[in-house]
Structure 1
Amino acid sequence: MAQNCPGFVNGIKVQPGNVSFNEYDAAAGYAAVVVTLGTNRTTIPSGASVAWTQTAGPAVVLSNANTLAPSFTAPTVGPGGDVLAFRVTATCTSRTGTETGMDTGTVTIVNVDRPPAVAPLASPPEAAVGDTVVLSANGSDPDGDAITYTWTQVPNGAPTAALATPNAASTQFVAPAAANDYTLEFRVTARSNALSASATVLVNVTAANLAPFAALACPSVVGEGQPLRLDGSGSYDPEGGALTYAWFVNEADAGLGFSLTGEAGPVVERSAPSLGLDMVGGVEVALRVTDDQGQYVDALCTFMIADVTAPSLTLPDDLLLDADSAAGTLVPAYAVSALDNVDGDLGALVACSPAAPHQFPMGATAVSCGVEDSAGNAAAGSFNVDVQDLSPPDFGPVSDIAIEGNALGGGILAYALPTATDKVDADVTVVCVPPSGDLFPVGSTTVECTATDDAGNESTAAFTATVHDTTPPTLDLPADIAGVEATGPDGAPVDFTATAFDIVDGDLVVYCTPASGSTFELGPTMVNCSATDTANNTGSGNFSVQVVDTTPPAVTPPANTTVEATGFLTAVDISTATATDAVGVVSLGHDAPASFPVGTTTITWTACDAARNCGTATSLVTVTDTTPPTLTLPGNIAGVEATGASGAIVTFSATASDLVDGVVVVTCTRASGSTFALGTTPVACRATDLAGNTGTGGFNVTVVDTTPPSFDPYTPPAPAVASGNSQALVSFPLPVARDLVDGAVTVSCDRASGSSFPVGRTRVSCSASDSRGNTATMGFDVVVSYAWTGFHRPVDNFPVINAVKAGSAIPVKFSLGGNQGLDIFVAGSPASGAVACMGGYTEEITLSETVNAGGSSLSYDATAGQYVYVWKTDKGWANSCRILQINLRDGTMQKAVFQFKK
């Protein structure tokens, strides 16, 4: 097998086969575009094979898919185009086994938009002043895109025509008036996407005086007194001349008094006249429109004056009638009438509900009446018939009564109500004052009675009620009072309550001896009491009072004390207590400690008298702890650099001390040593003593990301060989960049993979930015060189010495792997310099730019696939040697040695 089979597989690259770029214009029709693919290999060696497959984009059929240059017909794509991707796989089977190489490439199909076409048409193309002309546009778009149209008049001195719809495919206008014939020119522009096409059309107009047009609009029916508008403003002169107006009226009914005399404008606005008795109301109006040439036309319209006035209905005022019985009152007839401006007297047509005669019940009854004229105009009204009971009831006989006082202030007297009758109501309410069961004072009271029927009519009657008082009061005295404690050696004052109650007078003053509040001596004392009512009826009674001495001293403690703790124990000033006793205090003391803990302590105070009667009292001392602990926290912690996507670990110190409890535990919302996220995180801390007092504080921790991403080690693409026009399509993998926080980040380069690169060394600059704008950059070189295969005959390659005749023109031929254009030399190249004819040629050589024979330039022989440069030598170089040096744009230097003869 061939030795170059593994080399064929290694590094195979996809390249365009017959063009120098990868965009194919599909504007001329897709079927006409054939795309040929290619690689950087020229032949398939023995033992090797290739296979092409499509990997993305609209499906196409590859012809010769197992060759180095398959082709396909460009598919149909949308307005945005599409990208097709292909893979070439090269396989080599040699003695060492099977090797495979592959590469991918893309072809972009671009859909180029084409402009629309449009043809305008005028109908009719020849018109007279006042004619309506229709303009139509017939447009089409080769790509099937939507078309919009715009019509404009081309200025040419002709009158301006008003286009009805200038932005539609079809529009129209009325040929404007003019003194002479004229031609109108209109341009229509058709647009699809960003492309457009325009065309014009002509309309010839003949001038002539046309009769004016009279237009008259009026309502068919208008009501009496309503606004009436006669509108002739639609009249016009086709030539645009001034118009005059004359109005005439033909009345169908006499007596309307409707006239248009003196009206000279295009619009008349009036109020419709009112109709009279037996009038119909039809009116015919004529409008005469005359132009400035004396031509005129008439327009007529007819309208009706409608009877919209309702009849006048006269009804009686509301009636108030006295009831004859519980059934109400009979009304035999109503006093009603009606009059209409057209129909006259309509009284006989008035209808009421309920109709008379009618038995009206008690209360108000609405009577509704209505009448309608011959035009259907209706009048309606109502009045009320109110039947009321206006007569009062009649009382029967009444008698006087007397009782003994039986209640406070007199006596409760119950009596039977007098009776009363009414002609309407079966039951009549009788009310007496004072009422039965009320309290009557001692003596005689007149009772007045009122009988009221359901209608509120009243009648009155009266009788006398007498109350007598012969019963004495009843005393309420205390039981015998024993064990009254002496307040001094004289005994003790004693208060008591003695009351008396009379059935008529109520509570009475009681007189006792000794009186309440007197000082009673030690031992028993008898108390005598009596009370008399206003009728001089008297009641009496007695009880005893016993005074003793058994009371201990009374102790008054100081006020309770509350103080704030100053430490674990707190000294407190507890003040002092006082004590009193009727026979004197002997001793007073307490059980308070020297200092007090936090909380409430009870102090007991004790006082004793000479009789060994002792009394006690207590006071409270409360020591409170309301002072929270004091926290010691760090200040805001800023500028902590993130170590990963989750942020950074931050440590800090937070302590607290309390006046009572000493050192207190501090808790924070984020513990020291926690991982803090990017940004500012507030940390809130608190410490609580045993009394529940809480001290708080806080600070902020700010984690930042100022570290840019870093690039993974990168291997630049292998040098590429120019495929044509000193360019090569070079694919390379994007560098990979990673960030401590964001992980993998997007890398962008100023040259895309698969781009066309010129020969030589091109620097590709890449950058990567994290989400916080930290940016890292890197670069690598893409090297493109010519496929130099050496000089072709008649020039032998270095170090062979070419023997030539001095002064001759030497055709220097070489290949660069295809047509790379004519700009392949660097400035100052080719050049030559003298050397010794001994070989080696390592010495410094002074070069000078060559001169082309006959002023010719570099050329490319497409048939032979090689470049030809004719070097014109100098006759003075005879018997010397020179180097011809070619410096190419890919950075390489090629040379050949020549020995010149005469």
Structure 2
Amino acid sequence: SWTIDTTAPETTISGAPSAVSASNAATFTFTGSDAQGVAGFECALDGAAFSACSSPLGLSGLADGAHTLQVRAIDTAGNIDATPASHTWTVDTVAPDTAINGGPPSVSGSTTASISFSGSDANGVAGYECALDGGAYSACTSPVALSGLAEGAHTLRVRAIDTAGRVDASPAVHAWTTDLTPPDTTLLTQPPALTSSTSANVTFTGSDANGVASFECKLDNGAFTACSISTLLLGLSDGTHTFQVRAIDNAGWVDPSPASYTWTVDTTAPDTAILTNPAVVAGSTSATFTVSGSDLNGVASFACSLDGGSFVPCTTPHGLSGLADGVHTFQVRATDNAGNVDATPASYTWTVDTVAPETTLLTTPPSISNNTAATFTFSGSDANGVASFECALDGGSFVPCTSPAEYNGLGEGQHTFEVRAIDNAGRVDDSPVGYTWTVDLTPPDTAFLSTPAALSSNPAPAFTFTGSDQHGVASFECALDTGAFAPCSSPHTLADLSDGSHTVLVRAFDSAGNVDPSPATYTWTVDTTAPVSGASASGNLVNGWYVNSVSVALNASDANGVARISYQIGAGDWQTYAAPLTITSNGSHTINYYAVDASGNTEGVRSVTVQVDAVAPQVQFDPTASLTFYPLNATVVVSYSCNDPDGSGIASCTGSLPSGSTLDTGTAGTRTVTVTATDRVGKTTTQTITYQIGYQFQLQMSNTRLAPSMNSAIGGNTIVLKFSLGGNQGLNIFLAGYPKMQQINCSTRAPQGTAVALPVTGAGLQYLSNGVYQLSWVTQTSWNGTCRQVVLAFNDGSTYKLNFQFSAPRWSGD
């Protein structure tokens, strides 16, 4: 008996990983139920094909991400559960990341703190754990509130835990310091206890375990206000002042005992008096002074000055020595204990006179002059005044004179003037002041050193010139054409000159002011206009092309003459034009040219283009080979084209058969196609190509080759000659009298004797069903030791030859 079971079993997954798993391995258990029993299971992971499996099933090496396992039971009758049991879960092996979002400042004056945080994970964050100051981690939520914090450093670490149970291995950290102690303040610099300054610069510092954030300052009875560690006090009134400063630390605590300093401002200067001094006029070079000072806070010192010099410390009595003749002024000022200085020093003036007067020249004629008159002004200096002067000219005696002293009618040459003062005491200056000068009445001479060429293309030429004079050249003046003379120097450069003739004049001035009456003069011509060139072509011109050659003539004109014409054909070298250019090469040719005039002006490059057609057009066939062989009835398309490289172009391209036509290959023989190409200047080319149409011959004999190869044979045997012609071409395939046989030289293959008809069996030529022709060639034993050539000449014009060397057979036996 047997049981028919068509009911599929049911499958149940009884054990599986959680929906999110931190492991890349998983274990499944499953069962199946069926009335006739479960024979086995098949499993499929992530949509792969089902394959046999058993419970428990272990998976490993799972990648992060979602996975699905399907299990189906197979009962003993082979029925498969059509609704496999399925379980989907996510593998998450990446720990979450934690971030602090907010917390107390780095230094806080509070014993409480609120810290907010967050976490990120691809599959979600399940919760957080916090640890304070190195303590154990415990569950927490954001924000976490802390209270009762002791003074000192604190650190909160927070780590996220994802839905797979993974813990952030690098917890987020927030560190801060609780500071409950106020700072201390210290003054570093302050004004003296007694000062004359109405300003004061006070510097200070603060100390605190967690740093000082700022300071507040107070002056006298004012309020505390924010200030910096260097505070400048201005506009202080005379009297006592008190400055206070207090530090504020980073936690906001204020120093309860500010630093304080008190000082006095005194801006009232002392008064000074001279008690004893020398007479108003003294004959001594020394003097003694006694002085005194008065001040509410006492005099600290004195400073003295002589004749407007700098004040230097001094005491009373104060002695002076080595005084020079003349008026002297002595000043003395007191300084009080606050540093105030008497602004109105005590002063005394007197005169020392022990020296003769001094004489000074005030104005003189130039050292070199073209004036025969001369005027001198002068003065004298003496402690007690100058009474008069005496003058002398050119070594003559001193005579009384006054300032100004004038002299006329002086001759050309060198002169000397002397003057001396006499003071009110009758003392005469023992070192008279003198002056020597030269009267020069001879003008200089002027000469050019360099000039532009007589014909020049430069509109801004430079001139160099020089002058000669016994006493030296002082300057030059230049004039252009009819313009006025103006100061100039060598080199002298002109600008923007117009084309045409120009004249430059230069005259020198000597040190005495004499001017050259005959200026140096130079005349030249400026030519900045480039020449103008042209080109003309001559030859047989057809349709814009010169046939075979063209002659190109170049010309140029210029008001001052043409120096040369340069030309370049294509990209060739530049050359100097001498005669018309003849161009015979095929193609388009560009001739670049320009002219240079006698002044060196060069015109811009011009060009002329000529086209030369010196070569006949071309005909190209496809197929290209003449006498190309094609089998009978083959499809042969004749294609041809005409071109005229670098020429005037194709005007017509005609053939005996239109290009693209099919060649007649229905019968054996030759076919010719003739094509004529004509270009646009009338040049023609005719080309004929011949095609061979015939049998598709192929030798059908193994180990037998066509001439010139030599094949081996045994005389007296019948040799069956086999070949194919690409199908059944009938039996009338040979030319009349063929096939033939010809004895040849075995070494040179040269014919020997007369060719005869090939001896064959009575069957003659046969066409076999396999598409092969055959002839049975009857050979003779007498041929052994000789060579024969078989000639197969077909009526399609083709000929094939086979060479045979005959030899007797070799026998072997007992």
In the superposition, the TM-score normalised over structure 1's length comes to 0.32
TM-score (ref. length: structure 2): 0.34
